[in-house]
Chains A and B, each alone.
Chain A
Amino acid sequence: MELNILHVYPDLMNLYGEYANLAVLRRHLEALDVEAHIRTALLEDAPDFDTVDMIYMGAGTERGQKAALTALTPYAGKLKEAAGRGAVLLFTGNAMETLGASVTDADGKVWPGLGLAEYTTVETKKRVATDIVASSTTVPATSVGFMNKCSITRGVVSPLFDSLSSGFGNEEDCGPEGFTLGNVFATHVTGPVLVKNPVFTDLIIQRLFALRGWDLPEKLPVLPHEQEAHDVTLEELSQNGDRQKASLE
């Protein structure tokens, strides 16, 4: 079995070890006898959203994100079509913001978003860099990770994580975080998020198998160290729960 994954702008949107999200996903798919063909799209390319099962974009700098947004804008319709036919979209870090209606930078310039969701993002001059512990009905386990952002996102109707016990949500400390709709997953959580949360990886795999109409094995592969690494981080974050309220204002 084979799957096609498009890694969008890997040489631009690649902070915080983000490439590892796809490295880990590929390894899981291999354990299921699925070969993942990971293609890349660079800024100069016309991204092929039509024939892929999954589209991934990671975190970048604020200026890098604007370059990505500018380059992707002509293809926003194609991206929407891909999401509409059920392709899995994973957008992490500030890539999440590009899916919304707009991003307003710290100088007040408004950059139109790709329009897959109605939320709007405003960048701040302050930055929140903090560990996160997140609960979700979509990802059926407590998720851990980190966020490093300087923005507030308002108007998310369906967040990926319902609440955080540590971390800054879309709009407020410990508030709902990220965005999900159908097979679209967007979150500011890095870590990288799939590396730190094998249950989230399993969720992505379930959606990919469903898209292809493949039967999912009863038990998904468990790779060494992943769950233990997650559990240690969760325990550490729980024990060091005395945290200051994160603020971007």
Chain B
Amino acid sequence: MRMLLAIVVCKLLRFIGKRVGKGSSLPGKFALKICPDVLRRVTLPPCIIAVTGSNGKTSTVEMIAAILRRSGKKVIYNAEGSNQIEGVTTLILCSSTLGGKMRGDVLLLESDERYARLSFRWFHPTHFVITNLYRDQLTRNGHPEWVYDAILPAIHPDTTLVLNADDPLVSCFANGRDNVKWFGLERCSVSTDKPQGVYDDGARCPVCRGKMEYTCYHYHHIGHYRCPACGHARHTPDFAVTALDLDAGKLTIDGGTEIELAFRSIYNVYNILAAWSVCSLAGAEKEAMAAVISNYVLKNGRMVRFTLGGYHGTLLTSKHENSVAYDTNLGYIRDRKQDCEALIIVDAISRKYFTGETSWLWDIDFDLLDCPQVKRVLLCGKYVHDLAMRFDYTGIPAEKVVCYDTVSQAAGALEQDGGGELYVVTCFSDRDKLLNLVKLEQ
């Protein structure tokens, strides 16, 4: 009876919420108050896929959904990204019959890395994909090992883990388990012998703190590693990108299937591979997967094109407090090899909470913009002085760097003078401050 009431209330609140533009967590919150163990009582689909990690969750989940739908499966997933227990509850109950049977063949969840254990207290995924663990939102997450410790209790012994073999910390989730599948990138054109970036979180073995040895790095601490002291080492992947040509926008999976990249970044490669791996395990056919993933353009809108005066602009949404996300986009700008200007905005550090924390700026490799084709770098926002100070410690000549106190001042200056390609790097918290001042391309 309580389950029925919880489902009815959840559906009703969601119906009303959609009409007044409210988020998806409130209905689940009420349902959990009515019936705290409702997630144990409902009957879930036979395949439950969860995806967690620092970066790439949303993109990976979106591609998994697209592939499995093409494969004829009915997929229920939290496209709105409400990835804590309340949002998950809303999703499940609103997709269930009043008798508590969830419709669909696959329940697909983007799971918040810190709160996964709450969601999975009542049920557990059949497949749990863990993409990577980086420095991300230290203000909320502490540090990657703290997040590791938070995810660990969420993992059920019966769940098949689908892990990034190239991440030494993520690999630790496999310790003491047999039901693990690995995905990874073989040495390829992007691999380097030395670590890239400002810091090296792969320097020390996460198990014993011995000096880690890498035969190659793909980016940051992601690569082919081995600890001589304790033997913690990269596993041979079950699913691998065996060739990659980012310039040509092509990758090969398992030596046979060629995929074209709509977005030519190493991070996209890993997201595609993660989606490919778990979809294979869920029974998708190679041909169907390749057809969907090839040239797949993500719908999550993190890249926005616009015009501003004489500029043709591309906004690359990063996440403040996430140096890897920034490095992704700065690397993208560098790799385009076309003359351009770059605008960096740090005004509100988060859209969800207040903080004045700016240490993450020192973890970003802004030297990626120290290349001839980047003609000018504009900095703006409330924390422009923190940004400017950080840029003083790069190799970028001071005369290339211009500062503005506000986004509108920077936009006004750009509108009045100059033209060409403009890349904007900023966070969800700040991007609309610019997008409200430009003409969006459809």
Report which A residues bind B (CB closer than 8 A): 11-12, 14-20, 23, 27, 42-44, 61-64, 67, 127, 129, 131, 144, 146, 148, 150, 190-192, 195-196, 223-226, 228-229, 232-233, 236-237, 240
Tell me whether B386 is interfacial, beta carbon within 8 Å.
yes
CB proximity of A64 to chain B, nearest CB, Å? 7
Tell me whether B158 is interfacial, beta carbon within 8 Å.
no
A225 to B389, Cβ gap below 8 A? yes
B139 to A229, Cβ gap below 8 A? no
B382 to A236, Cβ gap below 8 A? yes
Interface residues of B in 29-48 (CB under 8 A from A): none
With A17-B360, A44-B211, A64-B204 in contact, do A240 and B354 touch (Cβ < 8 Å)? yes
Tell me whether B357 is interfacial, beta carbon within 8 Å.
yes
Picked from A146, A223, A224, A232, the residue with its CB within 8 Å of the CB of B359 is: A146
Q: Residues of A contacting B393 with CB < 8 Å?
A: 20, 23, 27
Interface residues of B in 108-161 (CB under 8 A from A): 135, 138-140, 142-146
Which residue of chain A is the closest to B323 with respect to CB atoms? A17
Bound-state CA distance A192–B359 (Å) is 6
CB proximity of B398 to chain A, nearest CB, Å? 9
Most chain A beta-carbon neighbours within 10 Å: one of B138, B198, B359, B363: B359
Q: Residues of B contacting A11 with CB < 8 Å?
A: 200, 203-204
Q: Residues of B contacting A64 with CB < 8 Å?
A: 145, 204, 209
- Chain A binding site: helix, strand, loop or mixed by DSSP? mixed
Which residue of chain B is the closest to A243 with respect to CB atoms? B354
A15 to B204, Cβ gap below 8 A? no
Bound-state CA distance A16–B204 (Å) is 17
Report which B residues bind A (CB closer than 8 A): 135, 138-140, 142-146, 198-200, 203-204, 209, 211, 354-363, 382-383, 385-386, 388-389, 392-393
A129 to B142, Cβ gap below 8 A? yes
B392 to A14, Cβ gap below 8 A? no
Q: Residues of B contacting A16 with CB < 8 Å?
A: 138, 359-360, 363
Bound-state CA distance A16–B389 (Å) is 16
Bound-state CA distance A107–B159 (Å) is 27
Bound-state CA distance A144–B383 (Å) is 14
CB proximity of A235 to chain B, nearest CB, Å? 9
11 A–B contacts from the bound complex (CB under 8 Å)? A17-B199, A17-B360, A44-B211, A127-B146, A129-B138, A129-B140, A148-B143, A150-B142, A195-B362, A225-B386, A229-B383
What is the count of residue pairs linking A and B with beta-carbon distances less than 8 angstroms? 110
Q: A19-B362, A195-B389 are in contact. List 20 more A-B contacts (CB 8 A).
A: A12-B204, A15-B135, A15-B138, A16-B138, A16-B360, A17-B360, A17-B362, A19-B198, A23-B393, A43-B209, A43-B211, A44-B211, A63-B145, A127-B142, A148-B142, A191-B357, A232-B385, A233-B356, A233-B386, A236-B356
Q: Residues of A contacting B388 with CB < 8 Å?
A: 224-225
Q: Residues of B contacting A61 with CB < 8 Å?
A: 143-146
Q: Residues of A contacting B354 with CB < 8 Å?
A: 236, 240
B392 to A146, Cβ gap below 8 A? no
With A15-B135, A127-B142, A148-B142 in contact, do A226 and B209 touch (Cβ < 8 Å)? no
CB proximity of B232 to chain A, nearest CB, Å? 14
Which residue of chain B is the closest to A9 with respect to CB atoms? B204
With A131-B355, A146-B355, A192-B359 in contact, do A229 and B203 touch (Cβ < 8 Å)? no
Most chain B beta-carbon neighbours within 10 Å: one of A14, A17, A224: A17
B209 to A12, Cβ gap below 8 A? yes
CB proximity of B294 to chain A, nearest CB, Å? 39
Bound-state CA distance A67–B139 (Å) is 24
Bound-state CA distance A17–B355 (Å) is 17
B145 to A62, Cβ gap below 8 A? yes
Q: Residues of B contacting A127 with CB < 8 Å?
A: 142, 146
Q: Residues of B contacting A129 with CB < 8 Å?
A: 138-140, 142
Q: Residues of B contacting A233 with CB < 8 Å?
A: 356, 358, 383, 386
Bound-state CA distance A190–B355 (Å) is 13
A14 to B199, Cβ gap below 8 A? yes
Picked from B140, B143, B209, B383, the residue with its CB within 8 Å of the CB of A67 is: B209
Most chain B beta-carbon neighbours within 10 Å: one of A19, A42, A43, A195: A195
Q: Residues of A contacting B135 with CB < 8 Å?
A: 15
Q: Residues of B contacting A15 with CB < 8 Å?
A: 135, 138, 143
Bound-state CA distance A196–B385 (Å) is 11
With A224-B389, A233-B358 in contact, do A19 and B211 touch (Cβ < 8 Å)? no
CB proximity of A97 to chain B, nearest CB, Å? 15
Bound-state CA distance A63–B149 (Å) is 11
Bound-state CA distance A64–B203 (Å) is 12
A20 to B204, Cβ gap below 8 A? no
Bound-state CA distance A22–B25 (Å) is 44
Picked from B140, B356, B361, B392, the residue with its CB within 8 Å of the CB of A144 is: B356
Most chain B beta-carbon neighbours within 10 Å: one of A14, A191, A225, A237: A225
With A12-B204, A12-B209, A14-B199 in contact, do A229 and B386 touch (Cβ < 8 Å)? yes
Which residue of chain A is the closest to B139 with respect to CB atoms? A129
Bound-state CA distance A228–B362 (Å) is 17
B362 to A146, Cβ gap below 8 A? no
CB proximity of B331 to chain A, nearest CB, Å? 19
B359 to A17, Cβ gap below 8 A? yes
CB proximity of B397 to chain A, nearest CB, Å? 15
Bound-state CA distance A239–B214 (Å) is 47
